Copies of this chain bind each other. A is one copy, B any other.
Amino acid sequence: MATEATADDTDDASDAPDAYDALLDRVQRWNAVGSASGVLGWDQQVMMPEGGTPARSKQLSALSSVHHDMVTDDETGELLDELDDADLTDEQAAVVREVRREYERADAVPVELVEEISETGSEALQAWEEAKAEDDFDEFAPYLKKHVELKREYAEHIDPDRDPYAVLFEEFEPCLSMERAESILTELREALVPMIDDIRDSDVELAVDTFEGTFAEETQEELSREALELVGYDFERGRLDVSSHPFTSGNQFDCRVTTRFDETDPLGAVGSTIHEFGHAQYNLGLPQEHFGTPLGQSRDLSVHESQSRLWENHVGRSEAFWERFLPTFQEHFPQTEDASVRDAYEAFNQVYEDNFIRVEADELTYHLHIVIRFEIERDLIRGDLAVEDVPEVWNDKYEEYLGIRPETDTEGCLQDIHWSHGNFGYFPTYSLGSVMAAQLFEAAESEIDDLDAKIAEGDFDDLHDWLGENVHQHGSRYETNELVKRATGEDFTADAFLDYVDEKYGELYGI
């Protein structure tokens, strides 16, 4: 589909006003610099020897400042002004909309403030690491306070008249309204708190023992490669490596995934690998002819997370997938030869109702971890919560929503790195992505004959086609809700997700 779209685009481009072509040239150049930074970032996390940090910091900071200068150059503003009343195709208008947003945001914030935030981030990261190691929130608190102040100032530069948290949220999710996001998160909280309570009370014991034991990391790596082969990762445009935190990096020509291994948790590695595959598949599905322009770039974090969660949860955690994959798993780990498909399904979908740690959470409790962070950071930024009260509010909310109370801040409000970077507004996109995944997958299921049976056969072609046609090929052409609406026929809501978990966990736990 991406290819069919090309011919039209090229025609459009040749009719474009000169200012549009000039703008596009600039944008492609600064995005090439941006994607070069991406390669350096990947290398830093995967390949770089330890000693390389000082040089890498200077390289990244030079590229970032070059990028900023290119975006905020007067000529960008002049070209955008010229295009204000220009006669543009829908596609050209979408490009101009996206570039204008990027320009205006970059132009609004003084470079000095950006640099101060970045420097605070380096100090805060170190303080956070120490605070977490020593379970000492007070050590981190001054940096968190500084970040909150700086980010409120940042938001004020962009728009002094709006809710600063909404402005910061747009840094990660620029075209989804805070209202919609907040209402989805509220719905999640309202539905999941009682559901998890019911699961806690349920007598059902899932079959988890089969996947307990020790599973060699080398074999897990082979298995991860097999999983990627099975779902259709294109190794000629990608790589699998190991890093301390799994991530995906790249573009439509070269998009790499990483994973990590825990000897006691082979299902975790499979899930994480398929998750990153979903991210990679999105980037690899972007139209190649639009590389470096908004039409060749992914929509924002929620949509990206919808692609990873769709593959991780709706494919990887399905019974159908394990019909196909269990024999492969057992070949690599003969110790699990007695496991049935149902065993694997149950083990991979158990709800950890007593877990404090977000990154170890299951598909259900995960969202309460997110809701808690969302409510706290929102109130911090809105000025409704003081930094020193964070630990207590955190623990209270864990007790209220999840029925558990962390005993230390290390396994409480100090567990995540995000706030040490000054990232407020990022967390919600994780949940929004999962919710969107459910809505997209429901639509795919309704349009693809026997999708479940196809997954059980290891045939993912129709699903790839559907995602390519409905999500990947559009790049940033449509804003988030419009993208979802075009793909599914409905506005973006939590309905499909809640139906999905109701049915799935109702069956699993007899609730």
A residues at B contact (CB < 8 Å): 28-29, 32-33, 35-37, 39-40, 43, 47-56, 58-63, 65-66, 234-239, 250-254, 256, 288, 291-292
Contact = CB atoms under 8 A, between A and B. Distances in A.
Contact of A291 (B37, B55, B288, B292): B55
Contacts of A61: 32
A48 B65 CA distance: 26
A253 B63 contact: no
A60 B28 CA distance: 13
Nearest to A239: B49
Given A254-B56, A288-B54, A43 B36 contact: no
Contacts of A236: 49-51
B49 A237 contact: yes
Given A62-B36, A254-B48, A54 B291 contact: yes
A253 B52 contact: yes
B47 A36 contact: no
Copies of this chain present: 2
A34 to B, nearest CB: 9
A437 B65 CA distance: 41
Nearest to A55: B253
A28 B65 CA distance: 13
A47 B47 contact: yes
A235 B50 CA distance: 9
B36 A40 contact: yes
Contact of A238 (B49, B54, B250, B291): B49
A327 B67 CA distance: 54
Contacts of A235: 49
A254 B55 contact: yes
B51 A253 contact: yes
Contacts of A252: 55
Nearest to A29: B62
A58 B236 CA distance: 19
A254 B62 contact: no
Contacts of A55: 35, 251-254, 291
B58 A28 contact: yes
Contact of A54 (B39, B53, B234, B253): B253
27 contacts: A29-B66, A32-B58, A33-B63, A36-B37, A36-B60, A36-B62, A36-B63, A39-B39, A39-B40, A39-B43, A43-B43, A47-B239, A49-B235, A49-B256, A51-B253, A52-B237, A52-B250, A52-B254, A53-B253, A54-B291, A55-B253, A55-B254, A55-B291, A56-B253, A58-B291, A58-B292, A66-B66
Contacts of A48: 254
Given A28-B58, A32-B63, A49-B256, 18 more contacts: A32-B58, A32-B59, A32-B62, A33-B63, A35-B59, A39-B43, A43-B43, A43-B47, A48-B254, A49-B239, A50-B236, A51-B253, A52-B250, A52-B253, A54-B253, A54-B291, A55-B291, A56-B253
A63 B31 CA distance: 11
Nearest to A38: B59
A236 B52 CA distance: 8
B47 A59 contact: no
B238 A33 contact: no
Nearest to A42: B43
Residue of A29, A33, A39, A237 with highest tally of chain B CB at under 10 A:
A39
A347 B40 CA distance: 42
Residue of A51, A56, A292 with highest tally of chain B CB at under 10 A:
A51
Contacts of A234: 51
A291 B40 CA distance: 18
A71 to B, nearest CB: 13
Contacts of A59: 32-33, 35-36, 39
A114 to B, nearest CB: 16
Nearest to A51: B237
A292 B57 CA distance: 12
Question: Across chains A and B, which 9 residue pairs bring their CB atoms closest together, nearest first?
Answer: A52-B254, A32-B62, A51-B237, A55-B253, A36-B59, A32-B58, A51-B236, A32-B59, A52-B253
Given A35-B55, A65-B29, A49 B254 contact: yes
